Chains A and B, each alone.
Chain A
Amino acid sequence: MKKTRFPLSRRTVLRGAGVTLALPWLEAMMPAAPSKAVPAPVRLAFLYMPNGVNTSAWAPEGAGKDFKLSPTLQPLEAFRDQIIVPRNLWNEAAKDGDGHYVKEAAILTSTRIQKTLGEDLNSHGVSMDQIAAQHIGNATPLPSLELGISPEATGVDLAVGYTRVYGCHIAWSSPTTPLARETNPRSVFERLLRAAEPRRDDAKDEALLLDRVLGDAKDLRAELGQTDRRRLDEYLSIVRSLEQRAESSAANGNKQWKPRVPLKGVTPPPEEPKDYAEHVRLMLDMIALAFQTDATRVSTFMFGNAVSNVSFRWLEGVSGSHHDMSHHANDAEKLRQYQLINKWYVAQYAYLLGKLRDAKEGESNVLDNSAIIFASALSDGNSHNMHNLPVVVAGKAGGKLATGQSPMYPEDTALSNLWLAILTAMGNPLERFADSTKPLPGILT
C-alpha cells in the first residue's frame, strides 16, 4: 500500500501544525479523487434550518439572472453561479395548525399532518427526498442518510396539541414512518465505513441470520391481532430490506457497487464534538463523505429541531438563542441578531458547497452533480409566516438545473412544484407530487 495515496492522519496534521490549532476535521483529510472517470451519479441533500429568517435581509436584490445577494446570503457569493434562489414559494398544506410542527414536518411532504399527541401519528405523505431514495436508493449501500444535531425532543406539546416527534423529522418514508436520525458523527462515519467496505463472509452470515429472524417474526405475526400485526409488519419490512442488502452483497461481492473513492485510512471524526458549531461541521463533513464515496445519494440534515432554542451567545454580536430572537416583535436589536444567526447558517451551507465543489469528479465535481437545498419552513419566525419561504438550491444536478438565477414566481407558488422539478432533475419525472400543479418553470435545463 503506497502511503502517499492515503490522506494524512489527524494526529500527523496536528503534530505538523502545532497542537493548539483546531483544524476542522476533513479539511486536509478528504479521500483522494476517483482514479478513473466513472459516470457520476446525481445526489440530493436537504438542509433544514428551524425558526425562519429575518425577512428584511433575506431576499436578493433584483430577480432573474440579474440579482444581487442579500446580506444574509452573502456567504454564497462564491457560488452565485451555482445557485437558484426561488421567490414567493409557499406550502399551502401547512398553513393552519400551529406555528412550527405543522410547517416543519411537512416541508418535504407538502401535506397536512394529523393533529395528535401520538395516536394516529400521520404525515399523510412521503417526503420528496424519500421519493428520490425509493427511486435511486437501491444503487447504493444506504438508500438515504438522515442526520441531525439535537436528539429527539422530550415530551408532547400540550399547548398546541402536537407530539414533538413532528418537530424532529422532515424525512418520512411512509405517512406513519418518520425516519430516525443519526446525531453522532462518529456513528455515521462507522456506518459509512461498513457500508463502503462490506465483507462478503459477514454479508453471507448476516443474510442467513436475518432470514431466520424473519421466519420467527412471521410465526409471531400469526399469533397477533389485526392492529398489532401492522406494527409487526413494519418491523418485518425493515428487517427484510436489511436482509436483501446483505444478500446482494453476499451474492456478487458488491461487484455492482464500488466506493467512488476509498474510505480506508480516513481518520474517524471525534466521538464528542466540542460545541454546536463543530458538531454541525462534522455532520456536514459526513454528507460530503457519503456523497463522495457514493455510500448514498440522498441525505437530509436538520440544524435543529423545530422551535430550536440553541443558544447563539458564542456567535459574535448575539446575546440570545435562535427561537428567542425569531420572536423579535420588530425590535431592531433582536432583528439584527436574528439576521446574524441566519447568516451563520447560510455560511455552514456554503461550507458544505465548498467541500463538494472541491471534490473533483473527472472534469466536473460533486457539487455540479448534486442538488443541495437549504430551507426553512417559515419565512418570518415572529408571525410564523410562510409567504415567500426562504429556499436556496445549489448545484446543477448533473446539468439538469439552470443555476445562477433568482426567479420571481407569482405570490404563493406551491413549494411542491419545486420538489416536482427537483425530482425531475433527479431522473424521476412524476406527474404530480402532493399538491403540485407542474414543475416549477425556468429552473430545469
Chain B
Amino acid sequence: MTALRCALLSLVAVGIATAAPVEGRAFLDKYCVSCHSGTKPAAGFNAREIAAPTAETDTYRWSRVLARVRASEMPPRNAPTPAADEREKFLSWVDGGMHSGACANGAVAGPIPIRRLNRDEYTATIRELLNVHQDAGHDLPADGAGGEGFDNAAEILSLSPLLAEKYRDAAKRTLEFAIRDSRARARIGIVEPSKSLTPAAAARQILDGFLPRAFRRPVTETEKQPFLALFQAAQREHLDFDHSVVFMLRGVLMSPRFLFLSVPPNPGPVARPLDDYALASRLSYFLWGSMPDEMLFDLASLGKLHEPEVLHEEIGRMLRSGKSMGFVDSFTGQWLGTRNLGRDLTPDAKLFPKYVSDAELRADIGFQPAVFFHTLLATNAPITDLLDSNWTILTKKLATLYGFDLKKLPKELDEQPKRIELPPDSHRGGVLGMSAVLAVSSYPYRTSPVLRGKWVLESILGAPPPPPPPNVPTLEEHADTQPATMRERLARHRADPACAGCHSRIDPIGFALENYDALGQWRTEDAGKPVDNTGTLPDGASFAGPDELRALLLARKDLFLRSFTSRMLGFALGRGLTLKDRCAVDAILAQLSENGYKSQTLIEGIVMSPVFRYQAGSAK
C-alpha cells in the first residue's frame, strides 16, 4: 500500500533505540529474502547470509539497505510492503547496529579533498588580497550545493569551461583597477624600480611578498619562476612596469594554487595533523569565507596556531570580527533557504506592495536571520535560541512590519539592526518568527501549511518527509464534494491512508504557523475567518499557535541539535559527511549539552575535532 511508502520519521522516534535483533532479522526474512537470497541474490545482496549490522561489517552494504528502505524504494512496489512502524523499527535496528561501538575510539579524521574556492569565497579572497572593494566574482556562475546542503562542498564544485574564461576576465579586470588604486598598490606591496633597483628586482620583491599571501603558505623559489617569467615576457613586449606587474599577477590569480584549497596527500596509515598554514586556511574559510589575515599567518609561521589555547583565542577573535558575516550569511541563507528570497521566490507585488517597493525593508528582511545568528555567536548565546528566544534583531522597518508599538520597545530603533529584548507574547522569538523564513516556506501569494510543515521537518529537524508516492489518486478524484477550506481539504488528505503517514506529521506543524501570513506578518483572521492554528501530532501531542510549537520543538531539541551540528560540520569541512563523521557529531553534541548549548562551544567543538584538524592516512 502506498500509505506505507510514507514511513519513517516521526518527530519522536528518531532516537537510536536499537530494536531487538530478532525483529531486524524477521524483517529481512519477511520482506527481502524472496529476491535477495540463493545462489544468485538480486543485486548480489544475500539477506539471509549477511552478518548483522555493526560498525565494521559490510557497512557499505548496510548503508545502501538503510538508504533504499528509508526512501521506500525497497521493498519494491509490486512486493508486500511493511507497515510504517515495522519499517521504522527495522531502520533503527540497522542504524543502531552500524553505530554501536563505532565511536569507541572517538572521532576519527576523514579525507580532505581538494576544492576550488566558490564564488563567494573567490570574491572575499580577492577583496582581502588586493584591498579592492569590488565584487570581483559577480560574473562567475553561481555554485550548486551538495553534501549537507552548502555550496562549498568539494564534490560539487565542478569545473566548466566557462569558469576558466571568467577567472581570466575577473583577474584582468580587477588587477587593472588595482594597479591604479593607491590602497590596493599598498596591499599588493608594489615596489617601484629605481636607480638602485632594476625592474626585475622590483618585480621579484613584489612577488616575494604577494605570492605567499595568494597561495596562503610559504612558497619555494621554483614556485615563483613561472610568474617571474611572465614579468620578463611582458617587459620584452615593451609593456611598462605597472602593466608588466599586472601581467605577472594575472598568472598568480589563474594559478590553481590560488584558486583551490588543497593539502598534500597523507600516504601513511595513520591520520596526521594539518600543518599550521593549512589549519589557518581551514579556519578562515570556515569562519570568514575568506583567506587568513596577518595574525593567522603570523601564528602559523611561529608554529603556534594549532595550540589549543591559541585556537580558542583565535575562534573568539574571528567570530567577533565583522568578517564572520561572510560565514554567517552564507550558512544561514543556505540552511534556512532564505537565499532564495528575491530570486525564485518573490512575495507577490499586488499582495505585498511594500515588499516590492521598499528596498530597505527587503534588505532588513533578508539580513535578519544572519544578523541574529551573528549576534548569537558573538554573545555566545545558546544554539537553542534559534528555536525560541526572548530577543531578536530588529530595525525600525522590521518592527513596524511585525506590528510592534515602537514606543514600547526597550530601545529606539532606526535603520541599523539592533538586538532587542522581546516583550512577552511577541511571537517573534527564534527563526520561526522571522519574515524571511516564513516567506520562503510559503507560496509568493499564500501560505501553505504543507510547505511550512515540510520546511520545519527538513530545516529544523533534519528529518524531511519522503516525496508523495507516485500515482496516488488525488484528493479531487475521489471527492464527491469540494471541501470549503484548506483545513477541511487537508483533513480529508490525512484521512486518506495513502497520505496520512506523512501528512499527519507535516500538516499540524504548518497549521501552528498559520498566524503568520506569506510575508510573516501577524494575523488572527484569514479571508474573513478566524485563523485556526491548532494541531495534534500522531503521538498525541497537541498544540495551538506558534508559541506552543516553539515550546514543543524546544522540548524535543535533540533532533534539532543533531541536525544543526551535522550541517555546521559539513559546512566547516567543505564536504558531505560520511558515516564515520557521526562519531565527531556525537562528541560535539556531548560537549554542547555539558556547556548549556553555548554557540561558541559548537564552533570550538568543530574546530578542535580531529575531523577538522587531522587528515586521514590513505594507506590501509
The answer on a CB contact under 8 Å between A155 and B160 is no
Complex Cα gap A232–B257 (Å): 10
Complex Cα gap A8–B424 (Å): 64
Chain A: how many interface residues by the 8 Å CB criterion? 81
Complex Cα gap A196–B156 (Å): 32
The answer on a CB contact under 8 Å between B233 and A208 is yes
Complex Cα gap A204–B148 (Å): 44
Question: Which B residues are CB-close (under 8 A) to A184?
Answer: 139
**Contact partner of A213 among B255, B262, B264, B339, CB < 8 A?**
B255
Known contacts being A163-B145, A163-B156, is A209 close to B250, with CB within 8 Å? yes
The answer on a CB contact under 8 Å between B474 and A212 is no
The answer on a CB contact under 8 Å between A239 and B254 is yes
The answer on a CB contact under 8 Å between A119 and B470 is no
Question: Which B residues are CB-close (under 8 A) to A329?
Answer: 474-477
The minimal Cβ–Cβ distance linking A161 to chain B, given in whole angstroms, is: 6
The minimal Cβ–Cβ distance linking B577 to chain A, given in whole angstroms, is: 10
The minimal Cβ–Cβ distance linking B262 to chain A, given in whole angstroms, is: 6
Complex Cα gap A224–B444 (Å): 48
A274 at the interface (CB under 8 A from B): no
Question: Which A residues are CB-close (under 8 A) to B216?
Answer: none
Q: Considering the complex, give the chain B residue whose CB is closest to the CB of A329.
A: B474
The answer on a CB contact under 8 Å between A238 and B160 is yes
The minimal Cβ–Cβ distance linking B256 to chain A, given in whole angstroms, is: 5
A235 at the interface (CB under 8 A from B): yes
B155 at the interface (CB under 8 A from A): yes
The answer on a CB contact under 8 Å between A206 and B168 is yes
Question: Which A residues are CB-close (under 8 A) to B576?
Answer: 117-119
A228 at the interface (CB under 8 A from B): yes
The answer on a CB contact under 8 Å between A99 and B162 is no
Complex Cα gap A213–B262 (Å): 17
Complex Cα gap A210–B163 (Å): 14
B164 at the interface (CB under 8 A from A): yes
Complex Cα gap A180–B159 (Å): 8
Complex Cα gap A162–B262 (Å): 26
The answer on a CB contact under 8 Å between B114 and A155 is no
**Contact partner of B161 among A182, A223, A242, CB < 8 A?**
A242
Known contacts being A153-B344, A311-B445, A329-B475, is A99 close to B467, with CB within 8 Å? yes
Flag B339-363 by CB within 8 Å of A: 1 or 0 each: 1100111101110000000000000
The answer on a CB contact under 8 Å between A121 and B255 is no
The minimal Cβ–Cβ distance linking B536 to chain A, given in whole angstroms, is: 23
CB-contacts of A194-253 with B (<8 A): 205-206, 208-210, 212-213, 215-217, 219-220, 223-228, 231-232, 234-235, 237-239, 241-242
Q: Considering the complex, give the chain B residue whose CB is closest to the CB of A167.
A: B144
A356 at the interface (CB under 8 A from B): no
The answer on a CB contact under 8 Å between A165 and B145 is yes
Complex Cα gap A120–B114 (Å): 15
The answer on a CB contact under 8 Å between B146 and A228 is no
Complex Cα gap A239–B163 (Å): 9
Q: Which stretch from A57-65, A316-324, A344-352, A367-375 is at the chain B interface?
A: A316-324
Flag A144-165 by CB within 8 Å of B: 1 or 0 each: 0010001111111011110111
**Contact partner of A178 among B71, B158, B340, CB < 8 A?**
B158
The answer on a CB contact under 8 Å between B458 and A158 is yes
Known contacts being A159-B467, A165-B156, is A209 close to B230, with CB within 8 Å? yes
B497 at the interface (CB under 8 A from A): no
B93 at the interface (CB under 8 A from A): no
A193 at the interface (CB under 8 A from B): no
The answer on a CB contact under 8 Å between B226 and A212 is yes
A428 at the interface (CB under 8 A from B): no
How many residues of B sit at the interface, in one of the four size bands?
Answer: 35 or more
The answer on a CB contact under 8 Å between B144 and A153 is yes
The minimal Cβ–Cβ distance linking B153 to chain A, given in whole angstroms, is: 5
The answer on a CB contact under 8 Å between A154 and B340 is yes
Q: Considering the complex, give the chain A residue whose CB is closest to the CB of B154.
A: A231
B334 at the interface (CB under 8 A from A): yes
The answer on a CB contact under 8 Å between B260 and A164 is no
The minimal Cβ–Cβ distance linking A100 to chain B, given in whole angstroms, is: 9
A176 at the interface (CB under 8 A from B): yes
Complex Cα gap A232–B165 (Å): 16
The minimal Cβ–Cβ distance linking B3 to chain A, given in whole angstroms, is: 17
Known contacts being A161-B71, A238-B163, is A152 close to B344, with CB within 8 Å? no
Known contacts being A154-B337, A187-B139, A320-B445, is A99 close to B470, with CB within 8 Å? yes
The answer on a CB contact under 8 Å between B337 and A155 is yes
Flag B449-471 by CB within 8 Å of A: 1 or 0 each: 00000100010001011110011
A177 at the interface (CB under 8 A from B): yes
CB-contacts of B144-190 with A (<8 A): 144-149, 151, 153-156, 158-165, 168
Known contacts being A154-B337, A155-B337, A165-B146, is A208 close to B230, with CB within 8 Å? yes
Complex Cα gap A151–B454 (Å): 23
Q: Considering the complex, give the chain B residue whose CB is closest to the CB of A99.
A: B467
**Contact partner of B256 among A146, A153, A156, A220, CB < 8 A?**
A220
Flag B249-287 by CB within 8 Å of A: 1 or 0 each: 011001111011010110100000000000000000000
The answer on a CB contact under 8 Å between A155 and B334 is yes
A9 at the interface (CB under 8 A from B): no
CB-contacts of A322-336 with B (<8 A): 324, 329-331
The answer on a CB contact under 8 Å between B251 and A209 is yes
B618 at the interface (CB under 8 A from A): yes
The minimal Cβ–Cβ distance linking A283 to chain B, given in whole angstroms, is: 14
B237 at the interface (CB under 8 A from A): yes
The minimal Cβ–Cβ distance linking A174 to chain B, given in whole angstroms, is: 9
The answer on a CB contact under 8 Å between A308 and B344 is yes
Question: Which A residues are CB-close (under 8 A) to B346?
Answer: 311
Give the one of A151, A187, A215, A383 with max B CB within 10 A. Answer: A151
Complex Cα gap A208–B340 (Å): 41
B333 at the interface (CB under 8 A from A): yes
CB-contacts of B104-160 with A (<8 A): 111, 113-116, 139, 141-149, 151, 153-156, 158-160
The answer on a CB contact under 8 Å between A159 and B458 is yes
**Contact partner of A231 among B114, B151, B264, CB < 8 A?**
B114
The answer on a CB contact under 8 Å between A220 and B141 is no
Complex Cα gap A351–B223 (Å): 53
Complex Cα gap A309–B161 (Å): 29
The answer on a CB contact under 8 Å between B162 and A182 is yes
Complex Cα gap A213–B247 (Å): 12
The answer on a CB contact under 8 Å between A330 and B160 is no
Question: Which A residues are CB-close (under 8 A) to B265?
Answer: 224-226, 228
The minimal Cβ–Cβ distance linking A95 to chain B, given in whole angstroms, is: 10
A264 at the interface (CB under 8 A from B): no
Complex Cα gap A99–B476 (Å): 21
The answer on a CB contact under 8 Å between B257 and A220 is yes
Complex Cα gap A210–B161 (Å): 14
Question: Which A residues are CB-close (under 8 A) to B264?
Answer: 223-225
The answer on a CB contact under 8 Å between A119 and B144 is no
Known contacts being A187-B139, A209-B247, A215-B226, is A321 close to B444, with CB within 8 Å? yes
B406 at the interface (CB under 8 A from A): no
Complex Cα gap A134–B382 (Å): 55
The minimal Cβ–Cβ distance linking A211 to chain B, given in whole angstroms, is: 9
Known contacts being A161-B71, A212-B230, is A179 close to B145, with CB within 8 Å? no
Name the 6 nearest CB pairs between A and B, nearest first.
Answer: A118-B146, A225-B265, A165-B144, A180-B141, A180-B160, A329-B474
18 contacts between A and B (CB under 8 A): A152-B141, A153-B144, A154-B339, A155-B337, A158-B462, A159-B467, A161-B71, A178-B160, A184-B139, A216-B223, A216-B226, A216-B251, A220-B255, A231-B113, A237-B159, A238-B164, A309-B345, A320-B445
Residues of A that sit less than 8 Å from B by CB: 98-99, 116-121, 143, 146, 150-156, 158-161, 163-165, 168, 173, 176-184, 187, 191, 205-206, 208-210, 212-213, 215-217, 219-220, 223-228, 231-232, 234-235, 237-239, 241-242, 304-305, 308-311, 313, 319-321, 324, 329-331, 382-384
Excluding A180-B158, A227-B113, 18 further A-B contacts by CB distance (< 8 Å) are: A119-B146, A152-B141, A153-B145, A153-B340, A158-B458, A159-B466, A163-B144, A179-B160, A179-B161, A209-B247, A216-B256, A219-B222, A224-B262, A231-B115, A232-B114, A235-B260, A321-B444, A330-B474
